[in-house]
């Protein structure tokens, strides 16, 4: 895994956006996708809002995805495998880059057909704890006309990232505006943030 971790970190250093294929193994991505589909079928996903605990706004003109927070207390073997992977990555990141990350939070995200998320920054204005944003995709056989690209707004260009299965994207939560373009079929991911207290 260290080779994949290094790919993610090195591409982040080079371009402010880290990208690594197969950060999630094919097997783990498949199991997490099945978890997400089961939660959706049971109507356990909630409409996502913007803001944090002190001010949450639900505006489907800004974002229209549905989410469900992962937690070790669920005692789900595949969620815990995911958390074990993140523990390894955070430990490696702290050891090699001295980032001082002390925690994280992740949720499943499902964009139904016709969903999107307008341009935004991930770090809250009243809480700087989110340091790095991470997205891991759960979409096999994604085609160009399926839409749903992650568009990251650099000062001189827009970087478009296809949400392909197993791929991970990594960037500073306070720096880069980004958006999820309109998706033409269900688009699934695990999305979250590496944090400091």
**142 three-state secondary structure:** coil
In eight-state DSSP terms, residue 145 is G
C-alpha angle 38-44-50 in degrees, rounded to nearest 5: 125
Above 90 in pLDDT, residue 51? no
- Residue-wise pLDDT tens digits, 138-190: 999 899 899 999 999 999 999 999 999 999 999 999 999 999 999 999 999 99
Q: What is the pLDDT of residue 123?
A: 79
Above 70 in pLDDT, residue 69? yes
Which of the listed CATH numbers 2.70.160.11, 2.60.120.620, 3.40.1790.10, 3.30.450.20 matches domain 2-195? 2.60.120.620
- Residue-wise pLDDT tens digits, 96-133: 999 999 999 999 999 999 999 999 888 777 778 999 99
C-alpha angle 30-35-36 in degrees, rounded to nearest 5: 95
Above 80 in pLDDT, residue 49? no
Q: How many CB atoms lie within 10 A of CB 121?
A: 16
CB 119 within 8 A of CB 180: no
Domain map (residue ranges) of the chain: 2-195
Q: What is the pLDDT of residue 61?
A: 63
pTM over 0.85: yes
């Amino acid at each position: 895994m260290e080779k994949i971790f290094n790919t993610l970190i090195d591409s982040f250093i080079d371009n402010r956006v880290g990208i690594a294929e197969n950060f999630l193994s094919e097997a783990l991505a498949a199991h997490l996708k099945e978890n997400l589909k089961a939660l959706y079928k049971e109507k356990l996903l909630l409409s996502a809002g913007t803001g944090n605990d002190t001010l949450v706004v639900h505006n489907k003109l800004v974002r229209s995805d549905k989410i469900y927070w992962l937690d070790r207390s669920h005692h789900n073997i595949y969620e815990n495998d995911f958390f074990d992977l993140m523990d390894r990555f955070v430990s490696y990141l702290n050891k090699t880059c001295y980032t001082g990350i002390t925690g994280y939070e992740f949720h499943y995200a499902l964009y139904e057909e016709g969903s999107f998320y307008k341009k935004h920054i991930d770090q809250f204005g009243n809480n700087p704890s989110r340091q790095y944003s991470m997205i891991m995709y759960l979409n096999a056989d994604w085609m160009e006309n399926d839409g749903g690209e992650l568009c990251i707004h650099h000062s001189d260009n827009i970087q478009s990232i296809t949400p392909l299965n197993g791929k991970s994207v990594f960037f500073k939560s306070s720096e880069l505006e980004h958006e999820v373009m309109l998706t033409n079929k269900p688009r699934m991911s695990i999305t979250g943030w590496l944090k400091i207290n």
